[in-house]
Amino acid sequence: MSAKIKTKRANKSADVKISDPGLADAGAFWYTERHDGHSGNTFKINRIIESTQSKFQRIDVVETAGLGKALILYGSLMVAEGDHNAYNEMLAHVPLFSHPKPEDVLIIGGGDCGCLTNVLKHPEVKRATMCELDKEVVEVSKRHFPRLTAGVKDKRAKLIFRDGKNFLETTRKKWDLILLDLSDPVGPAAELFQASFHRTIYERLNDDGILVAQSESPFYNLDITASMYGNLSNIFPQVHLYTCHMIVYPSAYWSFTFCSKKYHPQDDFDHERYKRLARKMKNDYYNDDIHFGSFALPEFVRRAL
Amino acid sequence: MSAKIKTKRANKSADVKISDPGLADAGAFWYTERHDGHSGNTFKINRIIESTQSKFQRIDVVETAGLGKALILYGSLMVAEGDHNAYNEMLAHVPLFSHPKPEDVLIIGGGDCGCLTNVLKHPEVKRATMCELDKEVVEVSKRHFPRLTAGVKDKRAKLIFRDGKNFLETTRKKWDLILLDLSDPVGPAAELFQASFHRTIYERLNDDGILVAQSESPFYNLDITASMYGNLSNIFPQVHLYTCHMIVYPSAYWSFTFCSKKYHPQDDFDHERYKRLARKMKNDYYNDDIHFGSFALPEFVRRAL
């Protein structure tokens, strides 16, 4: 039994003010991302660095007053220089350190390249493929976020610009890790939150493969988080939810669903490899304690799963 | 060596708009609590239920559009019905389940009574004393937050309305647990963040006593969190930082400093007692996994301590 993920809107950017006729509308250059019209995050914007409309979505790069440069896609703040990169580090390193030989990694989405760059911090990775629909997001990110996009220059990186669903349905290749680094289930990414796509992913993973999917805010979108957890539990033998603190996302509390054919994220954590790589990785958020602690779920989340 | 905690402002409510001449100024009834003038939380307000000025501070009770009723003290949002009570549960239950016989508990501050009510969920507690400066906060809370203030009616509860510092300096009593449930180091609570007060607390704890102090946002006020941790490490043999996700506080990420003369918060966690009480306690946030997981600190926090 699979519950269909609501795609009408994730309610996330219901009242975002960054929309035509442009940022000046945000009111004295405050960007406010509201949830369901009643609560939100607000950030002061010093200046708009770049505003473009790609074939798929509106893309804005702004200079915030407190958190450095930020990338806004489709009206949702995706990444900021001062957010400690929690989201990208948690999406990449938790599965990478849970798999003993993560050689082939596929990222679906991930246009800001922060996930790719973190994946490539692991010398075990031989090939990291990123399949992103919107080439323009990558180009804009390369211009403005050099630290995030450093991995693009790595010889192991391969970028493919096409629809992730179509790509996975037509390829014959298999991967050790597939990471779903998608924007919210609204707009271009909506179809990639459905169970049918998750089943396709299962087929394209090796027999000991791992999928991690970002699964929205357990505070504001607990229904989406719980539906995804339920759907994925019907497909994978092991499903575990973990979370991080991500300041620029609605509620500042974000979840990831770890789905595995074989390895357990805690029992199979590679302590030796972590000790060897930790210092070189220069992470701001992820570490071994967080790897374990991030699977602890508060009572209101535990009850919903 | 003790670093003095900066008391000028915690930078937390630097640009709070809920101030004279009243909430109507917040712009179409949006309450915005800004950090350092550059970032913040914003909540839609349906109506102002009560606004008073006590001898010590301004007190507002509002009905938010998304999170139920909320209490605002001195311009900072303290508690909302829809925030899952994370702060109060984490402040109370972590030390209570780490102490084998927590009979005498003292709360300094804690005017909304949420901490007191959680302390009294433990049948082991024989006497829970709350020393709050501002009686008006308790009266307002009793009128509007019956779930939070349920503990006040408990026969084991004793409320004292006076300055916490003065109270502890003059009493001869000792406690098993002292919980510092203070508003930010600005305004009436400023002095209670200093090392001299922490030394007084040490003296007033039994030989196996535990202190837990709220220690601000590790995201926005990492300097305060780290200073408190440093100061307290000079006084107590065991000091451990833990955190929670608290939606209505700036950055939605909050820290607590656990200071102990004897017991370790993980090694001495009372699994048996937790199992016996868990269901009855009806917590929304705290549970055994969170008890352990909340001590995992992200790399940027670990580095600062």
Question: Three-state secondary structure along B160-185?
Answer: ECCCHHHHHHHCCCCEEEEEEECCCC
pLDDT at residue A17, rounded to an integer? 41
Structure-block tokens of residue A85: 């990169």
Q: Tell me: do A114 and A64 sit in the same domain.
A: no
The whole domain housing A58 covers 23-80
pLDDT at residue A189, rounded to an integer? 61
pLDDT at residue A186, rounded to an integer? 65
* Active-site annotation of B, residues: 181
pLDDT at residue A21, rounded to an integer? 34
Whether B4 is covered by a domain: the verdict is: no
Confidence of residue B194 (pLDDT cuts 50, 70, 90): confident
Structure-block tokens of residue A302: 């535990």
Instruction: With CB atoms and an 8 Å threshold, state whether B295 touches A293.
Output: yes
Question: Across chain A, what does the average pLDDT equal?
Answer: 89
The residue among A299, A303, A305 with the most chain B CBs within 10 A of its CB, best to mutate, is A299
Q: Which of A90-94, B28-32, B150-154 has the lowest mean pLDDT?
A: B28-32
Instruction: With CB atoms and an 8 Å threshold, state whether B39 touches A42.
Output: yes
Q: Is the pLDDT of residue A27 over 50?
A: no
Q: Tell me: do A75 and A90 sit in the same domain.
A: no
Chain B residues touching residue A16 (CB < 8 angstroms): none
Whether A9 is covered by a domain: the verdict is: no
Q: Tell me: do A48 and A163 sit in the same domain.
A: no
Number of separate domains in chain A:
2
The answer to whether residue A181 is catalytic is yes
Q: Tell me: do A145 and A232 sit in the same domain.
A: yes
Whether B118 is covered by a domain: the verdict is: yes
pLDDT at residue B187, rounded to an integer? 61
Q: Which of A3-12, A270-279, B106-115, B211-220 has the lowest mean pLDDT?
A: A3-12
pLDDT at residue A188, rounded to an integer? 59
- Express each pLDDT in A98-152 by its tens digit: 999 999 999 999 999 999 999 999 999 999 999 999 999 999 999 999 999 999 9
CB-nearest to A67 from B39, B247, B298 is: B39
Q: Tell me: do B234 and B292 sit in the same domain.
A: yes
CATH of the domain at A29: 2.30.140.10
Confidence of residue B23 (pLDDT cuts 50, 70, 90): very low
Q: Is the pLDDT of residue B213 over 80?
A: yes
CATH of the domain at A218: 3.40.50.150
Q: Comparing C-alpha atoms, which of A159, A142, A162 is closest to residue A59?
A: A142
Structure-block tokens of residue B96: 């209570």
C-alpha span between A36 and A254 (Å, rounded): 17
Question: Across chain B, what does the average pLDDT equal?
Answer: 89
pLDDT at residue B189, rounded to an integer? 61
Confidence of residue A14 (pLDDT cuts 50, 70, 90): very low
Q: Tell me: do B32 and B108 sit in the same domain.
A: no
Q: A248 vs chain B: nearest CA distance in angstroms?
A: 9
Total Cβ atoms within 10 A of residue B305: 14
| Three-class DSSP category at B142 | helix
Instruction: With CB atoms and an 8 Å threshold, state whether A299 touches B290.
Output: yes
Q: Tell me: do A59 and A197 sit in the same domain.
A: no
C-alpha span between A276 and A273 (Å, rounded): 5
C-alpha span between B81 and B67 (Å, rounded): 6
pLDDT at residue A218, rounded to an integer? 96
Whether A222 is covered by a domain: the verdict is: yes
To the nearest whole percent, how much of chain B has pLDDT over 90? Answer: 78
Q: Tell me: do B49 and B130 sit in the same domain.
A: no
Tally C-beta pairs within 8 A across A and B.
Answer: 135
Q: Tell me: do A43 and A131 sit in the same domain.
A: no
Find all residues with CB under 8 Å of B128, minimum gap 6, and list them: B105, B106, B107, B116, B119, B120, B151, B154, B156, B157, B158
Q: Tell me: do B126 and B56 sit in the same domain.
A: no
Whether A269 is covered by a domain: the verdict is: yes
C-alpha span between A225 and A216 (Å, rounded): 6
Q: A69 vs chain B: nearest CA distance in angstroms?
A: 13
pLDDT at residue B6, rounded to an integer? 43
Total Cβ atoms within 10 A of residue A275: 10
Q: Tell me: do B29 and B174 sit in the same domain.
A: no
Chain B residues touching residue A37 (CB < 8 angstroms): 44, 65
- Express each pLDDT in A229-238 by its tens digit: 999 999 999 9
Q: A198 vs chain B: nearest CA distance in angstroms?
A: 28
pLDDT at residue A152, rounded to an integer? 97
The residue among B225, B245, B294, B303 with the most chain A CBs within 10 A of its CB, best to mutate, is B245
Report whether A46 contacts A29 (CB < 8 A): yes
pLDDT at residue B1, rounded to an integer? 40
pTM of the model as a whole: 0.91
Q: Is the pLDDT of residue A64 over 80?
A: yes
Whether A8 is covered by a domain: the verdict is: no
Q: Tell me: do A252 and A290 sit in the same domain.
A: yes
